[in-house]
Amino acid sequence: MAQSDTVFAGSIPALYGRYLGPLIFEPYAPELVMRVACKSAERILETAAGTGILTRALAASLPGAVEIVATDLNQPMLNFAAATPGVERVRWQRADATALPFPDRSFSAVACQFGAMFFPDKVTGYREALRVLKPGGRFVFSVWDRIEENEFADVVTDAVAALFPDDPPYFLARTPHGYHDVERIGAELAAAGFSRIDIETVAHRSRALSPRDPAIGFCQGTPLRNEIEARDPSRLGEATDAAAAALAARFGPGPIDGRIQALVITASP
């Protein structure tokens, strides 16, 4: 993982939330809420909450008596999430998912939507989730499947790479879509101490009003932007235009519709 892969700063959080939230994250939030919700849930921890897509779904779906604690390592993302409507009941706290500042056995469930790919040490992150779970609790998280199964991200990656043939920016393939080996994920969860592991492949459709929306989202609202600007800051607009043109060529002028696919994992001790 490149150092720039975890830098979500400047205008990235707002663009990430506006363009990618509805496009690729919201379809999967109900999948995690369904697996987290249970009659015995009293306190839920969300790690790597990002701009709060899952957080808002949890807040809207869980009974008011359930405490929700949402954390993220990246303070700009946390600030953006905490300022959005619908999360007034949530307790926000900056925290590293691989070194959680909570006591043992203090949560009924731990949830993480598309954040585990960014853990520098996956086993340590999973071990921390296990440590803070109460007996009978569950760890529910999602990761993206390979980039070829996620059409918009795949098209954008190829379009931007073509602009920098000597040093193509591969953030999307390398990190968000770089952790999809089912055997590896299962082995790392087992190494962390989980014994009951269910990994399900879940496909959805990603829809946008125009090709430009996902082009802006991916090129300007993710650390792909950092890679583009590191090569030539004057070419961010050109890269966005190239991505939009490639999406239009593949899916039409809009509205556009493409496949997205992820792994949804439920793990218990």
b or e along 220-236 (b: 16 or more beta carbons within 10 Å of the residue's beta carbon)? bbbbbbbbbbebeeebb
pLDDT band at 5 (very low <50, low <70, confident <90, very high): very low
Domain count across the chain: 1
Q: Render pLDDT for 241-265 as a digit per residue (tens, 0 to 9).
A: 999 999 999 999 989 999 999 999 9
What would the mean pLDDT of 142-158 be, rounded to a whole number? 98
With tokens 């490149």, the residue in question is 2
114: left (phi over 0), alpha (psi -120 to 50) or beta: left
Q: Render pLDDT for 44-61 as a digit per residue (tens, 0 to 9).
A: 999 999 999 999 999 999
pLDDT at 128 over 90: yes
In this structure, what CATH number is given to the domain that contains residue 24? 3.40.50.150
Q: Which domain holds residue 209?
A: 3-268
Instruction: Report pTM.
Output: 0.94
pLDDT at 2 over 70: no
